[in-house]
Amino acid sequence: MSKLHDILESNSSWAEKVNNENPTFFSELAKQQIPKYLWIGCSDSRIPETTITNMAPGDIFVHRNIANQVIHTDLNCLSVIKYAVEALKVEKIIVCGHYGCGGVKASMEEQDHGFIDNWLNNIKDVQISHKNKLESTNNEEDKFKLLCELNIHEQVKNLSRTTIIKNAWDSKQAITIHGLIYNLEDGKLKELDI
């Protein structure tokens, strides 16, 4: 028996159910990929983008990493953005974070987290940039929530400064960027005013 028996069994049941409901679903899906959205989100397993947006496979092109970062030296993220913008011609790019983000929380701690601290330094930079706002908040939970939101703001800014997006806008390609935050406690997405 396969060590992935549970996953393979679940996949088989899902594929059979989808095929019974719509016999042409997979053949149509296999023909082309034309998503309208690029989703840059957190790797957190509790936030599956197609599930929380009630969208179908093929509707959203996805890049996920710890704390939904858009870093100008991250070739993986930049490659996904380039493909989404230039080849797939997505219309909207969503940077989605969430309250309760472990990466954001770890960046607030003064302890050593090992290798991941290299990644978390990007969020520490967000804290430095917004020091006054964060220090004006006395409640630690409110500060944590605020930093989750500020991190999304900064990643949207980072995204808008990439050569990929600048070139697309210069060539009049219609792309909009949106910052969303997901609340694990009620399952709702909220658009941030960015």
Tell me how many degrees the CA angle 163-167-77 measures, rounded to the nearest 5: 40
Catalytic residue (choose from 64, 77, 96, 98):
98
Question: Is 74 annotated in the active site?
Answer: no
How far CA 44 is from CA of 14, 47, 49, 79, 157, in Å, comes to: 22, 6, 11, 21, 22
Catalytic residue (choose from 64, 77, 96, 101):
101
HSE at residue 26, side-chain half, CA atoms within 13 A, is: 9
Q: What is the DSSP letter of 88?
A: S
CB 182 within 8 A of CB 47: yes
How far CA 134 is from CA of 16, 41, 74, 129, 170, in Å, comes to: 50, 23, 27, 10, 35
Q: What is the DSSP letter of 162?
A: S
Catalytic residue (choose from 44, 63, 77, 148):
44
Question: Is 101 annotated in the active site?
Answer: yes
H or E stretch covering 164 = helix 163-170
Question: Is 46 annotated in the active site?
Answer: yes
Q: Which residues are catalytic?
A: 42, 44, 46, 98, 101
